[in-house]
Structure 1
Amino acid sequence: MAIFNLIYLSCGIVGLLLLAYKIRALRSSWGSPRVVALISTVFFSAFAVFFAAPANITWINWTTGVPNFAALLVYSLVVCFAGAAFTLVLYWRYPPVQAWHRVRLIVVSYATVVAAMIVLFFKSELDEERQVDFDTYYATQPTVAVFLFIYFVATGIGCGGQAYHCWQGSRDPAISARPWLARGLRWYCAAALFPMAFAVIKLFVLLMDWAGERSFDVLSLTAPLMASLSMIPLVIAMALPVLGPRRPSPSLWVRRWRTYFALRPLHRALVHVNPGIVLVAPGKFLNPHHRVRRQIIELNDWRWALTPYFDLSVGEAASSLAHQASLPTDEVTAVVEAAQLRAARSSSARSRPAKRRPISEIVDGTDLAAEHDRWVRISRAYQHSPIVDAAVADFVRAEAAGGKQ
């Protein structure tokens, strides 16, 4: 019993947490049929699994004073879940008006099944409480046999319809263009396969019991555990379309850290210009996207602060040497900018009046990747380019010679 309680209660609590999250997240869209179907699906599945725990079965039977009443409650919730899940995928695949013609039939059919189950349950002789083997123990009682038969068939049809439409929907060209949504539908398909397999196994055991073959009864005891595990793919299915697109790509995460460390030497070299703007938001220290974004903001700010101290001769010298070395255009621009920054940050350059302007103004790019690449080229040129060294060395010598005259 302990393992049954652990599995059912764990999966049930996960389902209830998912239900609370969905109600909160979708509270502004309660008028939508799709939202109602989604909330209903989670509600019925969560409570069906939660109440199926043997500890809760004992409490329900004791509270109601009706032996085996928990079986009626849990089985009705499972049937409602199957109908709600079937309804949900129809609303996903078709416009609301078109889907309603099919949904109306499902609602009427499954409401009729639950009503029939209630009547058959109270017409049956169920005096002995059976927490685990209710199906096999009462399988040969005619009213219970019909009760179980319509329960298994309705569950299998509903979950089978859910699996079919989810799989077909994931292959639809319009949905395939949104990979996280397509993956979510495949997980919904997987979630439906668990209770569908449960219904098929239970129905097979029921037919064997009718035939007098009891050697398969052990399958009936393990099948509900399989159905309860459907809560795991259901949670994944609901999380993927929402959280998947927000999940940073591992390769992008690595690239951002590489960009961060490529910019770090230049960032440290210029931080003295205005150290007060350096910021790492709380909780973002290990977030490379935030760290690189802040580096770019701060480098741009320091660059504009140093712009009045750029020297025309430094830019011309760096540009001439870069063209002589046959560097590509973007590398020429990076070398000129690095040389200007290197010369402007020196104390001698900033001690004179800020009169001269740079050769050209660099306009902040709207393409984030291009902005990253531009600053990485500048950072590397600042550290390693012999052209930058030569241009700045000429500038320093000229400044020194001018100071002596």
Structure 2
Amino acid sequence: MAIFNLIYLSCGIVGLLLLAYKIRALRSSWGSPRVVALISTVFFSAFAVLFAAPANITWINWTSGVPNFAALLVYSLVVCFAGAAFALVIYWRYPATQAWQRVRLIVVSYSTIVAAMVVLFFKSEVGEERQVDFDTYYATQPTIAVFLFIYFVATMVGCGGQAYHCWQGSRDEAISARRWLRLGLRWYCAAALFPMAFAVIKLFVLLMDWAGERSFDVLSTAAPLMASLSMFPLVIAMALPVFGPRRPSPSLWVRRWRTYFALRPLHRALVHVNPGIVLVAPGKFLNPHHRVRRQIIELNDWRWALTPYFDLSVGEAATCLARQASLPTDELAAVVEAAQLRAAGSSDGRARAPERRPASVIVDGTDLAAEHDRWVRISRAYQHSPIVDAAVAGAARVEAAGGMD
């Protein structure tokens, strides 16, 4: 019993937490039929699993004063869950007006099934309380047999419809292009397969019991544990479309570190311009997105500080050499910028009065990826380009010759 309590209560608590989160997150959209179907799906699944714990079964039966009343309550919640989940995926796949025509049939059908289960239960002789083996113990009682049959079939049809529509929806062209939504639908499909398998196993055992074969009864006892585990893929399915797009991909994380180390030499070469603005926020030391963002901010700030010291002759020399080398436009711009930064960042350049105008105009990084790429090209040219070396050295020779005159 302890293991049953642990599993059911754990899964039920997870469901209640998910329910609380969804109610809070969707409170502004309560008029939407989709939201009602979503909240209903989580509500029925959470309480069905929670009330299925043997400890809660005992309390429900004692409180109600009706032996085995917990079986009626839990089974009704499971049927409602199957209907709500089926209705939810219909709302996802079709426009609201078209979906309501199908959902209305689901609501009427599953409400009728629950009502029939209530009538059949109270028409039955179930005076002996059975916490774990209610199905197999009363399987051959005619009214309970019908009660169980419609319960299993309704659950199987509802969860099967959920699985089918989720899988088909994940293959739609418009959805398959949206990775996290596609994955979310497939996890919804997985969540439906657990209670569906539960219903199939239970129905098989029920048919065997009708045939007088009792050797499969142990499957009936274990099957509900499988159904309760559907709570975990359900949580994943609901979380993926919301949190998945906010989660940086591993490949992007690696690319950001590569960008950081590509910019690091240039960052170190220019830090003397204004070291006071260098900042790493607390707790962000190992966050490559933050580190690269700070590098770009600081490099742009130092670039602006050095702009008055840019030497027109350095820019012209670098441009001429880059064109002779047939460099592409973006590489040419990076070489010219790197040469200007190299010359302006030197001690001689900082000592010189800002008499010359800038050779180029700074480009604002309106596109973050383009800004990263631009600074990486500048950093590499600053370190490795022979054109930058030649342009800066040529300007230094000209200035030295002018100083001797």
Residue 230 of structure 1 aligns with which residue? 230
Amino acid at match of 2:206: L
Question: Which is further off, 136-145 or 324-333?
Answer: 324-333
The one-character-per-residue Cα deviations of 1:90-143 (angstroms, maximum 9, x if unpaired) are: 111111121112211211221121122122222222222111111001111122
Q: How does 1:354-393 map to 2 (within 5 A)?
A: 354-393=354-393
Q: Distance in 2 between matches of 1:102 and 1:257?
A: 51
Q: In the TM superposition, what is the alpha-carbon distance from 1:248 to its structure 2 partner?
A: 1.5
Per-residue CA shift, 1:236-263, capped at 9, x if unaligned?
A: 2111222222222221211111011100
- Please tell me the residue identity of whatever aligns with 1:328: P
In 2, Cα distance between equivalents of 1:174 and 1:394: 58
8 Å Cα contact 2:314/2:339 also seen in 1: yes
- Structure 2 CA distance, aligned partners of 1:400 and 1:64? 101
- Shift in Å at residue 75 of structure 1? 0.6
**What is the letter of the counterpart of residue 378 of structure 1?**
I
TM-superposed CA distance for 1:337, in Å, is 1.1
Listed one character per residue, the Cα deviations across residues 325-378 of structure 1 (whole Å, up to 9, x for unaligned) are 443333222222111111111233222321211222132243322221211111
In 2, Cα distance between the equivalents of 1:379 and 1:168?
49
The equivalences for 1:84-103 within 5 A come to 84-103=84-103
Unaligned runs of at least 5 residues, structure 2: none
Q: Bigger CA drift: 362-371 or 79-88?
A: 362-371
2:37 and 2:85 in contact (8 A); partners too:
yes
Q: Distance in 1 between matches of 2:295 and 2:183?
A: 36
SS in 2 for 1:245: coil
The residue correspondences of 1:280-359 to structure 2 (distance < 5 A) are 280-359=280-359
- Where in structure 1 are there 5+ consecutive unaligned residues? none
3-state SS of 1:362 partner: coil
CA distance in 2, matches of 1:79, 1:36: 17
Once residues 97 and 321 of structure 1 are traced to their aligned partners in structure 2, the CA distance between those partners, rounded to angstroms, is 67
Match of 2:150 in 1: 150
CA gap 1:251/1:63 in 2 versus in 1, 3 angstroms = same
| Deviation digits for residues 39-80 of structure 1 (CA, Å, limit 9, x no counterpart) | 000010011111111122122222223221211111111011
CA-CA distance at 1:148 after TM superposition: 1.0
> What is aligned with 1:5?
5
- Alignment of 1:254 onto 2:254: yes
TM superposition shift of 1:397: 4.1
Q: State whether residues 337 and 360 of structure 2, in contact with CA within 8 Å, keep that contact through their aligned partners in structure 1.
A: no
Aligned mates of 1:174, 1:398 — CA distance in 2: 63
In structure 2, the CA distance between the partners of 1:287 and 1:203, relative to structure 1 (3 Å rule), is same
What is aligned with 2:107? 107
Map of 1:135 onto structure 2? 135
Name the counterpart of 1:119.
Answer: 119
Change (3 A) 1:24 1:283: farther
Is the partner of 2:361 in helix, strand or coil? coil
Give, in angstroms, the shift of residue 394 of structure 1: 3.4
| Percent identical residues | 89
Structure 2: distance between partners of 1:161 and 1:329: 57
1:401 shift after superposition:
4.9
| 2:75 match | 75
Separation in 2, partners of 1:37, 1:345: 64
How many angstroms does 1:218 deviate by? 0.9
Distance between the aligned counterparts of 1:83 and 1:3, measured in 2?
29
Q: Distance in 2 between matches of 1:341 and 1:365?
A: 18
Q: Is the 8 A contact 2:26 2:35 kept in 1?
A: yes
Aligned residue number for residue 210 of structure 1: 210
Number of residue pairs aligned between Structure 1 and Structure 2: 405
TM-score, structure 1 normalization: 0.95
CA distance 1:326–1:90, change in 2 (3 Å) = closer
After superposition, the CA RMSD in angstroms is: 1.8
C-alpha separation in 1, matches of 2:59 and 2:399: 91
Which residue matches 2:274? 274
Which consecutive segments of 4 or more residues in structure 1 shift more than 6 A? none
How many angstroms does 1:264 deviate by? 0.9
Q: How far off is 1:282 after superposition?
A: 3.6
Distance in 1 (CA, whole Å) between partners of 2:236 and 2:301 is: 43
Aligned to 1:38: 38
In 2, the alpha carbon distance for the partners of 1:70 and 1:402 equals 99
2:181 equivalent in structure 1: 181
* Cα drift, residue 277 of structure 1: 2.8
Q: Distance in 2 between matches of 1:283 and 1:110?
A: 52
Deviations 1:299-346 (A, max 9, x none): 112111111100112222223333344433332222221111111112
The one-letter code of the counterpart of 1:17 is L
Deviations 1:263-311 (A, max 9, x none): 0111122122223333333433222222212211221121111111001
Measure how far apart 1:23 and its partner are: 0.8
The residue number in structure 2 matching 1:55 is 55
TM-score by length of 2: 0.95
